[in-house]
Amino acid sequence: QEKLRVAVLVSKAALQFIQGLSLRSEYVVPEEVKAAGFQICADELGSIVEGHDSKKLITHGGVTGIADKLATSPADGLSTAEESIKRRQDVYGLNKFTESEVRSFWVFVWEALQDTTLIILAVCAFVSLVVGIAMEGWPKGAHDGLGIVASILLVVFVTATSDYRQSLQFKDLDKEKKKIQVQVTRNGFRQRLSIYDLLPGDVVHLAIGDQVPADGLFISGFSLLINESSLTGESEPVVVNEDNPFLLSGTKVQDGSCKMLITTVGMRTQWGKLMATLSEGGDDETPLQVKLNGVATIIGKIGLFFAVITFIVLSQGLISKKYHEGLLLSWSGDDALEMLEHFAIAVTIVVVAVPEGLPLAVTLSLAFAMKKMMNDKALVRHLAACETMGSATTICSDKTGTLTTNHMTVVKACICGNIKEVNNPKNASDLCSELPETVVKTLLESIFNNTGGEVVIDQDGKYQILGTPTETALLEFALSLGGNFKAKRDETKIVKMEPFNSTKKRMSVVLELPGGGCRAHCKGASEIVLAACDKFMDETGAVVPLDKTTADKLNGIIESFANEALRTLCLGYREMEEGFSVEEQIPLQGYTCIGIVGIKDPVRPGVRESVATCRSAGIMVRMVTGDNINTAKAIARECGILTEDGLAIEGPEFREKSLDELLKLIPKIQVMARSSPLDKHTLVKHLRTTFNEVVAVTGDGTNDAPALHEADIGLAMGIAGTEVAKESADVIILDDNFSTIVTVAKWGRSVYVNIQKFVQFQLTVNVVALLVNFSSACFTGNAPLTAVQLLWVNMIMDTLGALALATEPPNDDLMKREPVGRTGKFITNVMWRNILGQSFYQFIVMWYLQTQGKSMFGLDGPDAEVVLNTIIFNSFVFCQVCVPYQICFFFSIFLKEVSCFSPVFNEISSREMEKINVLRGILKNYVFLGVLTSTVVFQFIMVQFLGEFANTIPLTRLQWIASVLLGLIGMPISAIIKFLPVGSS
């Protein structure tokens, strides 16, 4: 049997050798690749990795052979010589994907022209031109038609311009989303590099939560599991090691760590080819956009009904006149033009009635907020996150790095039973001299080997520590004890490593010792690792049994460290039995306690004030952390999160509670310590579903992804966060600062309120425009506002109004009111009162002008009707120009919720109104002022110089003053309306 087995193996090796020779003879290195100094082309590399072709890989000499052919070193990486990098880029390409081209401005113009009502108006304009020129000749007969055409083009170009600018903003933000950096070794130095700068031959270091940045091969690593679901759809992770070394771009590291050799980049990778078949779509509509689309549809149907009635009323006068004259079958060109004008007015009533600006206002407001939040260190990945954050009622915040600075240092250590301050190099040096040599040796062996970090020498010859803040703090401590990272790592060989696991809350490693045998090292949450120890090292360095008295003493030390807001870690080791296999689990018990360290992570400046701001804004802040409960409570008190009536609970206790107990506990929970990802997920789920809260969650690790996904809004940390956490989040906090989260909430509220302002503005204008033309048509047989004039008003409302009101920046008063929550009404009773009050005032003004205007202004003669209609049009526009100021006045009082204003109108002087913060803010908003100024200027030009097109006539100075005053009177009227009592909702 043995001879047979050997024969089979020899035959197999011979066949592989023969096949390898044939493959080797088949592959010819292209001349341009040889000339550049490489021995393998991009297509060959792509076929090896993408096809998982082990035979080809063996043919080329394995990973080492590929590295040689790419003129790189698995240890030192690429040379950074500029000429070498350029040659490599020319041969293998860049690690960038082909992006969809930015749509040109004319595409947006074409899309704007697709509007049904504008198409109907265009047909009206065409018929008007044909009939008018036939009857009255050029150019007099073309005035009406050209006026409608000019109005249509103006609306189209303004709409297209705003859509085009918004698309450019989203394109810029999309680039920000894709900025990812990885750790790379080049010229023997480890450094951070953008994934777009990677080239074949680069040596990249990956850890849990990282995204594989390009196709490549596994060089070395531990317990590496890759989630390939984004490419294959398979949820089961793939084990990657020397036997299966293939790593594909776009996949994610689920567990373990590794070094990989980049082989294929950009569009040649499997991910690149997949992206080439897809056209990247924009963001879906946000909930508010969907809601407002529904509102627009309903109002549009109402407008259509009024338009039909208006057309019937206007036309029946002409038809009845012709009927009485017996000329019903005899129609002149003038009669056709009059009917066409009636139809155009009916169509423009639909144009004005349909509030197309509602969704546009949401998009503009969100785009503006996203751009501004980027400046405030918050990158919004999903549009809906802006408006959702404005409704947030609860924030479940991580501790480390969010509430604290994320710059950790070891400040206290308990080794061999003695507590020492080690917050500076001198104290650490003193501790080293006091400890037995064997203890120091074991301690350094544990810290330098059982770590996910690394100590490297940068290009300036200085030590640089890479890794998480906790790992960095421990490595700094070990270096201050006089340890040498490289020398200590070279003494032993790592046989197996189990990276930090959020369930076990520990990290373990097995080392092969120089003299033979193996030793396991473990570090992690103090209570858990100490519970796994049955021995400890005493003052002499001897290993003695860990009795109950000593265990209680060590637990007391852990508690005292935690009470000082120190994060504690316990380090232990155990000698392994002979014959330990890599397939075996690293033992969980039987360790010897080396020591306990207390790590300080100071609270970020401004966090306490931010938490207080959240509290005053009705947002409950909860801390959810994996730390010791005493540490968590100390930090929570320092931040102002934990109050007298609040509850701090541990994860294990929380998960044992029954549903009834949870319903009583959850509203009181302010701190959850020692929490697992499942605990965090459960808390968030109950808050959202059972208590109907709008929940924001912060997180940085892969383990936070479920909670980030479950939350209404997920906030991932930009510095400490893994790529998996960022991908699961809606917003990335670029500076990892809690204060930025408060800024996001403020912007969210600003978006919500700005859109409320716009809705109030637009519905007011809609109601008035409908009532004026409809009532006038019913009672007088003609409409004072023509098609061209209504189109101009429509543009003021839909586009300029959206631009002006949607770009209001947030103010501090926004954070002094209760959140809207999940069930709050968008159009409140206060808004309805303001809409109806303003509509009533404007309608009375328009109706009074129409019935009494001629006598009021002393108008007579052939132009009296045209002059009166011009005054009505001018006054109507100035009422709309003043509406934004009135709206801001309403909202300023509504947001401040002051009751000190007397109901007597005389007590509200203009000076008092100037002191309102929102009005002062408007004067600093250049977009707002620019829009209002442009509207007034164009209105003046339209009335004074475009009479033929706009059906207007130049007005006198007195008539202009009267028009402006009628608009301004709305300001005090709005103040009076404010004091009409309405419900709170």
Residue at 170 is within a domain: no
Higher pLDDT, 571 or 275: 571
The reply to whether 237 falls in a domain is: yes
CA dist 564 → 608, 628, 630, 952 (Å) = 18, 12, 8, 78
| 244 in Cβ contact with 238 (< 8 Å) | yes
- Is there a single domain that holds both residue 446 and residue 568? yes
Beta-carbon contacts of 46 under 8 Å, excluding residues fewer than 6 positions away, are 215, 263, 264, 268, 269
| pLDDT the model gives residue 916 | 35
* Integer Cα distance of 945 and 775 in angstroms: 29
Mean pLDDT for the stretch of residues 668-690: 90
- The confidence score (pLDDT) of residue 882 equals 61
Segment 40-65, tens digit of pLDDT: 999 899 889 888 888 889 988 899 99
Mean pLDDT, rounded, for 920-942: 74
Task: Output the average pLDDT for the chain.
Answer: 80
Output the pLDDT for position 135: 65
Q: How many domains does the chain have?
A: 4
Query: How much is the pLDDT for 67?
Result: 92
753 shares a domain with 706: no
Q: Are 882 and 953 within one domain?
A: yes
Q: How far is CA 33 from CA 37, 44, 80, 268, in A?
A: 7, 12, 19, 16
User: Domain with 832 in it: what CATH number?
Assistant: 1.20.1110.10
Residue 541 sits in the same domain as residue 689: no
Count other Cβ atoms within 10 Å, centred on residue 638: 16
Look-up: residue for tokens 């989260």?
Answer: 741
Instruction: In whole angstroms, give the CA distance from residue 356 to residue 350.
Output: 11
CATH number for the domain that contains residue 267: 2.70.150.10
In a domain, 124, yes or no: no
Contact 716, 731 (CB under 8 A): yes
- The yes-or-no verdict on residue 894 having pLDDT over 60 is no
Residue 762 within a domain: yes
pLDDT single digits (tens) 608-631: 999 999 999 999 999 998 888 888
The domain boundary residue, chosen from 234, 258, 279: 279
| 83 and 202 fall within a common domain | yes
Q: Which of 77-91, 659-673, 773-787 is the least confident region?
A: 773-787
> Where is the domain boundary, 279, 311, 340?
279
The whole-angstrom separation of Cα 791 and Cα 183 is: 58
Residue 367 banded pLDDT, cuts 50, 70, 90: confident
Q: Are residues 226 and 332 in the same domain?
A: no
Confidence of residue 2 (pLDDT cuts 50, 70, 90): low
Residues 621 and 595 in one domain: no
What does the H/E/C string look like for 633-696?
HHHHHHHCCCCCCCEEEEHHHHHCCCHHHHHHHHHHEEEEECCCHHHHHHHHHHHHHCCCCCEE
> What is the extent of the structural domain holding 632?
378-404+604-736
350 and 383 fall within a common domain: no
Q: Which of 202, 255, 398, 736 is catalytic?
A: 398
Position 556 scores a pLDDT of: 93
The pTM for the full model equals: 0.69
Query: Are both 338 and 480 inside the same structural domain?
Result: no
Residue 626: CATH number of its domain? 3.40.50.1000
Considering the domain architecture, whether residues 695 and 811 belong to the same structural domain is answered as no
Q: Residue 141 domain-assigned?
A: no
Domain end among 566, 584, 600: 600
Among residues 626, 74, 172, the alpha carbon closest in space to that of 401 is found at 626
pLDDT of residue 359: 63
- Is 791 found in the same domain as 666? no
Residue 121 belongs to some domain of the structure: no
What number of other Cβ atoms are within 10 A of residue 954's Cβ?
A: 12
**For range 699-725, the mean pLDDT:** 80
Residue 921 falls within a domain, yes or no? Answer: yes
Share of the chain above pLDDT 70, in %: 82
- Given this model, what pLDDT does residue 136 score? 67
Q: Is the pLDDT of residue 558 over 80?
A: yes
Above 70 in pLDDT, residue 494? yes
Give pLDDT, residue 819: 84
Q: What is the dihedral of CA 891, 897, 903, 908, to 10 degrees?
A: -60
Q: What is the pLDDT of residue 280?
A: 43
CA quadruple 977, 982, 984, 985: dihedral sign: negative
Which residue matches tokens 């890479």?
466
pLDDT of residue 199: 92
Is the model more confident about 915 or about 637?
Answer: 637
- Verify that 817 and 942 share a domain, yes or no: yes
Instruction: Please enumerate in sequence order all residues whose Cβ is within 8 A of that of 158, keeping only pairs 6 or more positions apart, or say none.
Output: 795, 799, 800
Residue 671's pLDDT is 94
Domain assignment present for residue 964? The answer is: yes
CA separation, residue 130 to residues 330, 343, 345, 923 (Å): 19, 16, 18, 48
- CATH code assigned at 431: 3.40.1110.10
Name residue, tokens 């017996």.
326
Highest mean pLDDT among 73-87, 356-370, 800-814: 73-87
Candidate from 12-26, 711-725, 876-890 with smallest mean pLDDT: 12-26
**How many C-alpha atoms does 784 have within 13 Å on its Cβ side?**
30
Does residue 284 carry a catalytic annotation?
no
Distance CA 821, CA 976 (A): 30
